[in-house]
Amino acid sequence: MADEALARAGLHFDELNKIRVLEPEISQQTGELRDECKEFLDKISEFQKIVGSFVDLIDGVAKEVEKEKMKAIGSRNLLKSVTKQREAQQQQLLALITEKKVQLERLRIQHESLAKEELEQTDFIEQFILQK
């Protein structure tokens, strides 16, 4: 009876006969819930940590990818410009070659004329000797 009267007043006794405000059953459940919550929190924070490191990793990879991409674009452009540069160089070399060719032609003509002259001179000398 006394228990009932106390229960009405909101007071209970547990197994160890300690006075409680909550019903022992509920109190036990509450304790269980609290423990479970703690466990849950731990798990969540662990998960967050894992996710965080994952995100970092991904970020790193993204950066790397971006870098590589730029590199690729750069080298592709460079490649394009190299062909252009080569073309320009080729053009320059061609111009120089034409110049040399013209020079060669001049020297060839000069050589030809000198050879002809030499021939004429030797002819003359021979004739001169024969006449004597």
Applying CB under 8 A, the residues found at the interface with another protein are 88, 91-92, 95-96, 99, 102, 105-107, 109-110, 113-114, 117, 120-121, 124, 131
Closer residue to another protein, CB minimum distance, 7 or 119: 119
Are 14 and 24 in contact by the 8 Å Cβ rule? The answer is yes
To the nearest whole angstrom, how small is the minimum distance from the Cβ of residue 86 to another protein? 14
| Token reading at 75 | 């080298």
Closer residue to another protein, CB minimum distance, 35 or 117: 117
Closer residue to another protein, CB minimum distance, 64 or 118: 118
To the nearest whole angstrom, how small is the minimum distance from the Cβ of residue 87 to another protein? 11
To the nearest whole angstrom, how small is the minimum distance from the Cβ of residue 79 to another protein? 21
To the nearest whole angstrom, how small is the minimum distance from the Cβ of residue 109 to another protein? 4
- How far is 11 from 19, CA to CA, in rounded Å? 7
- How far is 20 from 15, CA to CA, in rounded Å? 11
Closer residue to another protein, CB minimum distance, 28 or 89: 89
DSSP 55-105: HHHHHHHHHHHHHHHHHHHHHHHHHHHHHHHHHHHHHHHHHHHHHHHHHHH
